[in-house]
Amino acid sequence: MNRRYFLKTGAAAAVFLAGIPMLTTGCRNSLRSRLMNGQPSTEIPGLSADGYRILHYASLAPSGHNSQPWFVKINTPDHWTIGLDPDRRLPVVDKNNTEALLSIGAFLENLVQAAAAHGYRVHPTIIAKDRFDPDFNPDLVSLRLEKTQPENMDLHRLTSRRTVKSHLSDRQLTPGDVNAFSRLTDGHLFYFAKGTTHADHMAEQAVANYIIQMENTAAVKEMAKWTRLKDSTIKEHRDGLTPAGMEIQGFAGWYVRHVMDPVDVTGQAFIDKGIEKIQQQAKEGAGWLVIIGDGNTVSDMVASGRRFQRMALEAKNRMIAIHPMSQTLEETRGQKHITENHSSGTIPHFMLRVGYLDKYPDPVSVRRPVTWFVKI
Ligand SMILES: Cc1cc2nc3c(=O)[nH]c(=O)nc-3n(C[C@H](O)[C@H](O)[C@H](O)COP(=O)(O)O)c2cc1C
């Protein structure tokens, strides 16, 4: 072991454990706001200023590893196509494109809500085949935009939503909140309160399947590929998992941003700390929400992504954190456990840890500008 390695791994272990809140997340927030303002920067032929803003709001949608797997073609000013960028798939942990399609669903939901606020009704049609093959044709959804009266939509919900992983209270969700979420997901929702056998089982499976992934070199390499540690890399890519997004705060956050190299993400010290973090997270919160689908076609996944996003946008108003933990559904062993423990025919699309928050933190994850994902 050379001296630099010793210093790096030893110090990494110490700072992850300490998590000293020395450097606030404030500078991370300013990185996001400095990079993202939603104002048209360059003219895109066929795209109006409203169209640009609508796509900016759409891009604030969550996605697995923040890979932002969407592209948009502007066919004419009122006819767009949303597609799945083959280079932004996660072929190891998401080999069937489930999460990519759920993320596109969330993108579409944001797009529809932002369009309504700007005076457009969106008519989406799924054009992909039932079984999606991005190597064959990555186009997914065709959109027609119809001019109408602007609706009174609260777009602040789109800019302020984020994934929250820490400081979730154990207090059970109230029936009022569960019912509101159930309505927003068209009844495709189950809530398993903390302390129930089902919730314990989900927490165990989240940890067990995360460990399985961390023992899989290909899955670790894929995670490393989407990890952006330094501010300069974040600015260059505007996607991926950042220290702030992973909620590595304080001195630990400073350390990973300034001292670690991308290759260290595949090292045992980083992996072990990641597992400790997941073990800690799985213990926290009010239990688990599961969003189920009607099937596994492209339409089913996009519908689930939209339902999820409607709920996630409302969660902030109710001071509820939502944390997708997808590893159980990604791994064959995890899927088997979940299938055995639910009634037959249940198709879980999302496993989400939930819990009330005292403070809903500002969003920190970055997005690519509209000009980077629009194809003319
Ligand atoms: C389909 C899907 C799957 C996700 N799976 C996970 C997951 O397994 N673990 C996790 O920590 N976050 C997960 N996320 C959250 C993303 O990492 C997060 O949305 C992304 O980093 C952008 O951050 P934001 O939601 O704060 O904007 C998932 C999100 C989506 C849409």
Predicted local confidence at residue 343, as pLDDT: 75
Q: Following DSSP, what letter does each residue of 149-208 receive, concatenated?
A: PPP---THHHHH-----S----SPPPHHHHHHHHHHTTT-EEEEETTSHHHHHHHHHHHH
What's the angle, vertex CA 147, arms to CA 142 and CA 151, rounded to 5? 105
Q: How far is CA 271 from the centre of its chain?
A: 20
Residues 152 and 170 in one domain: no
Supply the angle between the helices 175-184 and 298-315 in degrees, to the nearest 10. 140
Q: What does the pLDDT look like over 111-139, one tens digit per residue?
A: 999 999 999 999 999 999 888 887 788 99
Confidence (pTM): 0.93
Residues 173 and 233 in one domain: yes
Predicted local confidence at residue 16, as pLDDT: 46
> With pLDDT > 90 as the criterion, what percentage of the chain qualifies?
78
- Quote the DSSP letter at residue 213: H
Question: Does residue 301 line the site of ligand 1, with CB under 6 A?
Answer: no
Residues 153 and 275 in one domain: no
Residues 187 and 218 in one domain: yes
Nearest-CA residue for ligand 1 atom 4 is: 64
What is the residue whose two structure tokens read 């809140």?
A: 21
What six digits make up the tokens of 14? 């110490």
Question: Does residue 62 line the site of ligand 1, with CB under 6 A?
Answer: yes
pLDDT at residue 324 tops 50: yes
Closest ligand 1 atom to 103 CA: 31
Question: Does residue 106 line the site of ligand 1, with CB under 6 A?
Answer: yes
With H, G, I as helix, E, B as strand and everything else as coil, classify residue 285: coil
Predicted local confidence at residue 327, as pLDDT: 95
The answer to whether 351 touches 21, Cβ cutoff 8 Å, is no
Question: Does residue 242 line the site of ligand 1, with CB under 6 A?
Answer: no
Centre of ligand 1 from the C-alpha of residue 164, in Å: 9
> With pLDDT > 70 as the criterion, what percentage of the chain qualifies?
91
* Number of domain units in the chain: 2
The amino acid present at 1, given as its one-letter code, is M
The answer to whether 332 touches 216, Cβ cutoff 8 Å, is no
Question: Does residue 163 line the site of ligand 1, with CB under 6 A?
Answer: yes
Question: Does residue 69 line the site of ligand 1, with CB under 6 A?
Answer: no
Here the CATH number for the domain that contains residue 99 is 3.40.109
Q: Which of 60, 63, 110 to mutate to test the pocket of ligand 1 (most atoms within 8 A of CB)?
A: 63
Centre of ligand 1 from the C-alpha of residue 66, in Å: 6
With H, G, I as helix, E, B as strand and everything else as coil, classify residue 144: strand
pLDDT, mean over the chain:
90
The amino acid present at 324, given as its one-letter code, is P
Predicted local confidence at residue 150, as pLDDT: 97
The answer to whether 289 touches 330, Cβ cutoff 8 Å, is no
Q: What is the mean pLDDT of residues 361-365?
A: 96
Residues 326 and 307 in one domain: yes
Question: Does residue 274 line the site of ligand 1, with CB under 6 A?
Answer: no
Residues 118 and 36 in one domain: yes
Higher pLDDT, 17 or 355: 355
Residues 145 and 167 in one domain: no
What CA–CA distance (Å, rounded) separates 292 from 83?
A: 23
Nearest-CA residue for ligand 1 atom 1 is: 99
Residues 256 and 340 in one domain: yes
The amino acid present at 19, given as its one-letter code, is G
Residues 251 and 308 in one domain: yes
Centre of ligand 1 from the C-alpha of residue 5, in Å: 31
pLDDT at residue 97 tops 90: yes
What CA–CA distance (Å, rounded) separates 85 from 92?
A: 16
**Longest C-alpha distance within the chain, in Å?**
66
* Structural domain of 349: 3-24+162-356
Ranked by mean pLDDT, the top range of 7-11, 40-44, 256-260, 368-372 is: 368-372
The amino acid present at 260, given as its one-letter code, is M
**Phi and psi, residue 81, nearest 5°:** -125, 130
Q: Which of 237, 189, 203, 176 is nearest to 373 (CA)?
A: 237
Residues 219 and 325 in one domain: yes
pLDDT at residue 78 tops 80: yes
Closest ligand 1 atom to 241 CA: 21
Centre of ligand 1 from the C-alpha of residue 298, in Å: 20
Closest ligand 1 atom to 312 CA: 25
Centre of ligand 1 from the C-alpha of residue 89, in Å: 14
Residues 235 and 338 in one domain: yes
Predicted local confidence at residue 39, as pLDDT: 72
With H, G, I as helix, E, B as strand and everything else as coil, classify residue 294: coil
Question: Does residue 209 line the site of ligand 1, with CB under 6 A?
Answer: no
Higher pLDDT, 101 or 42: 101
Q: What does the pLDDT look like over 174-226, one tens digit per residue?
A: 999 999 999 999 999 999 999 999 999 999 999 999 999 999 999 999 999 99
Q: Which of 163, 164, 247 to mutate to test the pocket of ligand 1 (most atoms within 8 A of CB)?
A: 163
Closest ligand 1 atom to 327 CA: 8
What's the angle, vertex CA 158, arms to CA 110 and CA 78, rounded to 5? 35
pLDDT at residue 361 tops 70: yes
Question: Does residue 66 line the site of ligand 1, with CB under 6 A?
Answer: yes
The answer to whether 158 touches 57, Cβ cutoff 8 Å, is yes
Identify the band that residue 171 occupies on the pLDDT scale cut at 50, 70 and 90.
very high
Residues 13 and 36 in one domain: no
pLDDT at residue 9 tops 60: no
Predicted local confidence at residue 30, as pLDDT: 59
